[in-house]
Amino acid sequence: MALLPGLVAACISLASPGLSQDRIQVVTTTTDLRSLTEAVGGDRVAAVSLAPANMDAEDYQPRPQDVLRLKNARLMVRVGLDYDLWADRLLAQAGKPEISRGGPGYVDASFAIAVLELRGMSVGPGDGHAHGSGNPHYWLDPKNAEIVTGSILEALARIDPENALRYEANRRAFLERLRARLAEWESKLAPLRAMPMVAFHNRWPYFARRFRLDFIGFIETKPGVPPGPAHLAGIVRTMQVRGARIVVREPQEPQRDVAFVARSAGASVVTLAASVGALPNTDDYIALFDANVAALTLAAGVQ
Amino acid sequence: MIEPVTFLLPAFLVAVCLVGIHVYFGIEVLTREVIFVDLALAQIAALGATVAFMLGHPPQGPATYGYSLGFTLAAAVLLAFTRGWATRVPQEALIGVIYVVAAAAAILLIDRAPQGAEHLKQILTGNILTSGWNEIAVVVPLYAAVGLLHWLLRRQLARSGILWEFVFYASFGVVVTSSVAIAGVLLVFSFLIVPAAIGVMFASSLPRQLVIGWVTGTVTSAAGLAVSFAFDLPTGAAMVCAFGLALAVAGLLYPFLHGNRNNALRVAIATVRWCAAVLLAGAALQLAVAPRADQPLLDTLETAFPSLRALYFNRSEAVTWAEAGETAERYRIEAERLNDLEMRNRSQGEALDDFSIGRMSSFLKSYGEMRKGEQFVMGEVRARARERIRWGASLTLLVLALLCAPLAWSRLRTGLPRRR
């Protein structure tokens, strides 16, 4: 019986092509936010991500069509925290106050997130990330999806109030699914607790905090600057002293530098996806964590 | 100090191999006046690899290498022919066009497959530090074969003719394709041009040019690697700067080794004095016109000798400056302490809840702001002190500049009475 309304809706949407154009056009800056927006909006939204999955969204260079996409959009969801600064220029070019900062269709998904590694713009050169406003990779903590989907729900309810209840139900169902999976992921990664690891780039603090992992160092300390020899030698020494056996790399990161460190320290390389779609079988937000958890447990030799 | 040596040895040996073949090609490239041909060939090879990648071949596979080689050979044909055309338009212009078009075509292709961008970047920006025995095993036989070929064909290659031009560019393309993937475009260009230029500068026969080039190239590579380890600098960039410095030193030494030594010394001293005078006069002008702006000379001196501030700060300024500095440092330490605590808590002890994390990040934000405030105070104190002393200090700097300038003071003094 519960299936019936869904089936009817499906038949209607198949029968009338006009309905698909009724869908709310949403632009997100990353694929992760697209997946979360789809989780809340369901079939009422048509979401498109500007930055493709398989590159660093931080370095994305907007295309001419992106302005057009924004002009047609009613909702804009971005990562914030200086991660997708290029979106500011695009929004200015599109010139739509409704989806610009302060407009009803503008969502800065970092709102209300407990930010990690906040170093004021001038607090020392520091290790890791050059972000003055904190580490921006907060979507890698599944718990933060609750806050992000909350912000998206609020905006969708604002621009499409008739369907607010539907969005809320979508979100609740998604979070229920996510919570169940989170418990499973946590138990799978429990044996890796405090197991020392090294990553190429400091993209994993939120992930590490949720799953209680210990990243003891990073190969690339400043984005885009090749690491110096003393730093690399230091990383290798720390790995040997602490017995780190895993080096985390993302598909777009240089293979040779990572392989060099892993070889020198006698560790193995595991390739993780930091964004939805960056690897095969990471087509949505939940699949992203499924794949990463599986890859990590395999590399650590625990099942 | 055994560890740095074992850590840097593979990279050094790779550098020696690269210097070995590139000095020879560098001398050839300098005589043919096709300085940027290596960039064009490397870019063409990268374009070939991109095409292979687009067709679905794995980045390190033999098919990709085949495409690279094919594109490089096609470019070699083109370069061999342009030698003949280069009567009214210099060949260097055509090389530039090949480079630009290959780079643009690669961008157009990559627009279709975003992950190709990283791939292309990896082809053109190798990291010599992470290269090792695998690379040596590939390049030693390859470079030996190319070297032998050139030695056997040395008579034919000296003559002009489209076939021999093609052989030259094709073998050079094969060398550059492999070396750029190992060391990156910038470093390969330095290997190619700098030692060869120094060799050509100090010798006229090919064997002596080669020996000078090999020795300077090897010594400079070793120095660049050592500096990069000692100061933890990106290795490729440090080595390129070392090569630039080597060329500058060679240029400075040249007049002393060839020509009138006394004259060279006199010119060198005059140049140094003029530079010092211009620097001091510029600093005087900057301080007088815009005392609140950056003062490059004064700032550098103050960083090197903080006690210089005592010369122009009054008592209360000195106290405010010191206090603000201490407070800023305290905020920094406090913020680092919180960050450390959070980092350790990720995997140790009882996990902090989101509320505590949120509180921590709001503390961190405040510490950052307060530290910036203290730094603003320090900047303001210094700017006001400088405003106060600007006329006196500029005048002093100007007098120093006049004293440094190699003006003929004695002639000025003897000239005055005569005019009267």
* The amino acid at A144: N
| Contact residues on chain B for A55, CB-CB shorter than 8 A | 114-115, 117-118
Rounded to the nearest angstrom, the minimum Cα separation between B124 and chain A is 12
pLDDT for A131 beyond 60? no
Sign of the alpha-carbon dihedral angle for A211, B362, A134, A277? positive
What is the three-class DSSP state of A271? strand
CB contact under 8 A, B235 and A229: yes
Tell me the two tokens of residue B94. Answer: 């055509």
What's the pLDDT at A10? 47
For the sheet with A268-271, list strands across it. A214-218, A196-199, A246-249, A268-271
Measured distance CA(A102)–CA(B47) in Å, rounded:
44
* Structural element, H or E, at residue A209: helix A205-211
Measured distance CA(B136)–CA(B18) in Å, rounded:
10
Do residues B37 and B78 touch, judged by C-beta distance below 8 A? no
pLDDT for A3 beyond 70? no
* The amino acid at B271: T
| Contact residues on chain A for B236, CB-CB shorter than 8 A | 226
Q: Chain A residue with minimal CA distance to B119?
A: A252
Q: 3-state DSSP helix/strand/coil percent for chain B, to nearest 5?
A: 85, 0, 15
> Which of the residues A50, A82, A116 would you substitute to probe the B interface, choosing the one with the greatest number of B C-beta atoms within 10 Å?
A116
Give backbone dihedrals phi and psi of B114, rounded to 5 degrees, phi first: -60, -35
What is the three-class DSSP state of A47? strand
Sign of the alpha-carbon dihedral angle for A277, A282, A287, A293? negative
* Structural element, H or E, at residue A105: none
| Contact residues on chain A for B115, CB-CB shorter than 8 A | 54-55, 251-252
What's the pLDDT at B211? 94
- For chain B, which residues score pLDDT lower than 70? 1-2, 59-60, 84, 86, 111-119, 122-123, 125, 408-420
Measured distance CA(B368)–CA(B357) in Å, rounded:
16
Q: Chain A residue with minimal CA distance to B376?
A: A122
The separation between CA A34 and the C-alpha centre of its own chain, rounded to angstroms, equals 10
pLDDT, tens digit, for every residue of B68-114?
889 989 998 888 887 767 677 788 888 889 899 988 888 888 766 65
Residue-averaged pLDDT of chain A: 83
A273: left (phi over 0), alpha (psi -120 to 50) or beta: beta
Q: Flag whether residue A253 sits within 8 Å of chain B, measured between CB atoms.
A: yes
| Contact residues on chain B for A54, CB-CB shorter than 8 A | 114-115
Sign of the alpha-carbon dihedral angle for A271, A275, A280, A282? positive
- Comparing CB atoms, the residue among A124, A212, A230 nearest residue B351 is A212
CB contact under 8 A, B231 and A228: yes
Rounded to the nearest angstrom, the minimum Cα separation between A207 and chain B is 9
pLDDT for A129 beyond 50? no
Does the interface predicted TM-score (ipTM) exceed 0.85? no
Binned at pLDDT 50, 70 and 90, residue A301 comes out as confident
In chain A, % of residues over pLDDT 70: 88
Q: How many CB atoms lie within 10 A of CB B204?
A: 8
- Comparing CB atoms, the residue among A63, A114, A122 nearest residue B361 is A114
Rounded to the nearest angstrom, the minimum Cα separation between A37 and chain B is 23
What's the pLDDT at B116? 63
CB contact under 8 A, B8 and A229: yes
> Which of the residues B232, B235, B350 would you substitute to probe the A interface, choosing the one with the greatest number of A C-beta atoms within 10 Å?
B232
Q: Flag whether residue A229 sits within 8 Å of chain B, measured between CB atoms.
A: yes
Q: Flag whether residue A7 sits within 8 Å of chain B, measured between CB atoms.
A: no
Q: Flag whether residue A233 sits within 8 Å of chain B, measured between CB atoms.
A: yes
- Comparing CB atoms, the residue among A52, A122, A132 nearest residue B114 is A52
CB contact under 8 A, B127 and A256: yes
pTM (2 d.p.): 0.78
The separation between CA B401 and the C-alpha centre of its own chain, rounded to angstroms, equals 31
Sign of the alpha-carbon dihedral angle for B81, B82, B88, B91? negative
pLDDT, tens digit, for every residue of A76-95?
999 988 888 888 888 888 88
Rounded to the nearest angstrom, the minimum Cα separation between B368 and chain A is 4
CB contact under 8 A, B346 and A213: yes
Strand partners, A107: A77
What's the pLDDT at B115? 61
Residues in chain A: 303
What is the number of CB-based contacts under 8 A between chain A and chain B? Answer: 135
Measured distance CA(B372)–CA(B390) in Å, rounded:
26
Q: Chain B residue with minimal CA distance to A135?
A: B361
pLDDT, tens digit, for every residue of B270-298?
888 999 999 999 999 998 888 888 888 88
CB contact under 8 A, A256 and B122: yes
Measured distance CA(A273)–CA(A263) in Å, rounded:
22
Do residues B80 and B165 touch, judged by C-beta distance below 8 A? yes
- Comparing CB atoms, the residue among B232, B336, B351 nearest residue A231 is B232
- State mean pLDDT over A194-209: 89
Rounded to the nearest angstrom, the minimum Cα separation between A199 and chain B is 15
Measured distance CA(B318)–CA(B256) in Å, rounded:
49
Measured distance CA(B11)–CA(B8) in Å, rounded:
5
CB contact under 8 A, A55 and B115: yes
Q: Is B105 exposed, middle or buried (0-12, 13-18, 19+ CB in 10 A)?
A: middle
Strand partners, A106: A76
